[in-house]
Amino acid sequence: MNARAAANAAVTARFKPGDAVTVRRAYPPGHIRTPWYIRGHSGTVVHALGPFPNPEELAYNRPGLPAQPLYRVRFRQGAVWPDYAGNPADTLDIEIYQHWLEAESDAAR
Amino acid sequence: MTDSHPHDHHDHAHPHRHPPRPDTDDTLGHFQIMEIAVRELLIGKGIITPAEIQRAIEAMDARGEALGAKIVARAWTDPAFKTRLIADGTEAVRDFGVDMGTTRLFVVENTPTVHNMVVCTLCSCYPRMVLGLPPDWYKSRNYRRRAVREPRAVLTEFGIVIPDGVVIRVHDSTADMRYLVLPQRPAGTDDWSAERLAKLINRDAMIGVALARQP
Amino acid sequence: MKQSLPAGLAAHGIADNNRHMREPIRGHHDMGGLPAGPVERTEHDYAFWEKRVDAMNVLLASKGHLRVDEMRKNIEALPPDAYERMTYYERWMSAIANTLLQRGVLTADELGRKMEEIARREGVAR
């Protein structure tokens, strides 16, 4: 595969609906679309949305390729907030790019 | 004092509910001056034209809750459309001439056991192509901070109490997906036309901070 | 052994080189979950100039002169007090200008001079 095709190819999707994933606890500078409040938390993939150019790169007018698989991940409110008031089964659904996710079983404790 | 923009045309009627505020009550602010400057420079360089600006304003003015209400009312009365709308909202709303552009529409359905609510904590992402421009409060610090953490308290402030047995799903729009809430159809409307039903649906219900009006 | 900051030094804007920020800096815009007061359900009718800012943003994006991601990045780069004091469309206008400068569509000099010209034309005191 030549360099151009490699850049254009999407990163292989690693997750599917139902998978348990953990958001990496990383704090790089730059334009980050993974909210601070969800980093380090674990949830379940509900949708595999397909590949998208990386906004962290688009923010600097770079192409953001290869495209990153994007997922809708569902988190239990009772697990995210220690003082959550209401039904703990309430959820937060957030789109997260694959490079911010690890399989929950692989996540550093 | 009104501002004067040699390249602008203000003397036309906008077909929308709220007439725009006049630009200035007093001196132009720094960023208003910047707007004029950038616009004139771009026009001078042939990058944009006054006609294009006008058309873009009119296109956004034409969008508002009425369009969203029509879509919801059709979903309530046409089960096949509702199925398409939920499976692929972007494709389904093309029936109404809506082009989502680079974004994708996800329609999330309220049911007796699930209530959906939409926010963009990081900025102000909103289904503009369906609902027009978002209200100030949606873009406010307090909504962005609290909607994800205490949705039930926020909903109470908006005047609705969701029973604890109902699950609340808060959607934080962090990428290219845009969310539209499909409110529950009120009881006692079985024989209503879509046109009549649309009057029960307002913008707040499609954001998830209100319910459809009762008949 | 870490020394505590001598009294008064911080007031001069001098950080103590013997201490280090242990926490990363959270973007001011990255505010989900932080404490806040009641939601004020304000709405305002958009002014003409705000609609023009919105239109410029849409047009420039469609013509490939800016991306929404660059706009967001530039808004996120605003100092927190500016972010709070600026209105929504003032932030967007600032972001449009910064993006066009970053892209080389405009230069700071031509923009500054144009703004001076307009301020004079509109009778705005500087």
Which of A35, A55, A61 faces C32 most closely, judged by CB atoms?
A35
Residues B134 and B188 in one domain: yes
Residue B5 lies in a domain: yes
The pLDDT value recorded for residue B4 is: 40
**Does B38 contact C33 at a Cβ distance shorter than 8 Å?**
no
Intra-chain end-to-end CA distance of chain B, in Å: 47
CB C90, CB C84: distance < 8 Å? no
Best interface-test mutation with C: which of B12, B124, B138, B146 has the largest number of C CBs within 10 A? B146
Residue B54 lies in a domain: yes
Residue B212 lies in a domain: no
Which of C37, C54, C106 faces B41 most closely, judged by CB atoms?
C106
Residues B197 and B127 in one domain: yes
The pLDDT of B190-199, averaged and rounded, is 97
Residues B9 and B85 in one domain: no
**Does C69 contact A36 at a Cβ distance shorter than 8 Å?**
no
Residue C84 lies in a domain: yes
The pLDDT value recorded for residue B15 is: 39
For the cut 50, the answer to whether the pLDDT of residue C123 exceeds it is yes
Task: Supply the ipTM of this predicted assembly.
Answer: 0.93
Residues B69 and B110 in one domain: yes
CA distances from C31 to A38, C27, C75 (A): 11, 8, 14
- What's the domain range around C115? 45-126
The pLDDT value recorded for residue B7 is: 40
The pLDDT value recorded for residue C27 is: 96
Q: Please give the Cα distance from C83 to A80 (Å, whole number).
A: 27
The pLDDT of C30-38, averaged and rounded, is 98
The pLDDT value recorded for residue B198 is: 98
The pLDDT value recorded for residue C14 is: 75
- What's the domain range around B106? 65-207
**Does A36 contact C27 at a Cβ distance shorter than 8 Å?**
yes
Strands A68-76 and B114-119: unpaired
- The beta-carbon contacts of C34-41 under 8 Å, at least 24 apart in sequence, are C34/B145, C35/B145, C36/B141, C36/B142, C36/B145, C36/B146, C37/B142, C38/B142, C38/B157, C39/B137, C39/B140, C39/B142, C39/B143, C39/B146, C39/B154, C39/B157, C39/B158, C40/B137, C40/B140, C40/B142, C41/B135, C41/B137, C41/B158
The pLDDT value recorded for residue A1 is: 56
Q: How many domains does chain C contain in total?
A: 1
**pLDDT per residue as tens digits for the range B58-90:** 999 999 999 999 999 999 999 999 999 999 999
Q: Which fold has domain A3-106?
A: SH3 type barrels. (2.30.30)
Residues B71 and B86 in one domain: yes
pLDDT of chain A, 109 residues: tens digit per residue: 566 765 667 899 999 999 999 999 999 999 999 999 999 999 999 999 999 999 999 999 999 999 999 999 999 999 999 999 899 899 999 999 999 999 998 876 5
CATH code for the domain in which residue C63 is found: 1.10.472.20
CATH code for the domain in which residue B83 is found: 3.90.330.10
The distance of C26 to chain B (nearest Cα, Å) reads 12
The pLDDT value recorded for residue C13 is: 75
Q: Where are the domains of chain A?
A: 3-106
How many CB pairs lie under 8 A apart between chains A and C? Answer: 37
Residue B120 falls in the annotated catalytic set: yes
Residue B173 falls in the annotated catalytic set: no
**pLDDT per residue as tens digits for the range B89-128:** 999 999 999 999 999 999 999 999 999 999 999 999 999 9
pTM for the model stands at: 0.90
For the cut 60, the answer to whether the pLDDT of residue C24 exceeds it is yes
Which of C24, C32, C72 faces A37 most closely, judged by CB atoms?
C32
Q: Kindly give, in sequence order, each residue whose CB lies less than 8 Å from that of residue A96, ignoring residues fewer than 6 positions away.
A: A21, A23, A34, A38, A70, A71, A73, B174
CB C69, CB C103: distance < 8 Å? no
**pLDDT per residue as tens digits for the range C48-92:** 999 999 999 999 999 999 999 999 999 999 999 999 999 999 999
* C51 contact residues in B (CB cutoff 8 A): 20, 57, 60-61
Residue B97 lies in a domain: yes
Concatenating the DSSP letter of every residue in C109-120 gives HHHHHHHHHHHH
The pLDDT value recorded for residue B17 is: 43
Q: How many domains does chain B contain in total?
A: 2
The pLDDT value recorded for residue B96 is: 96
**Does C102 contact A36 at a Cβ distance shorter than 8 Å?**
no
Angle formed by the axes of helices C68-76 and C88-103, nearest 10°: 110
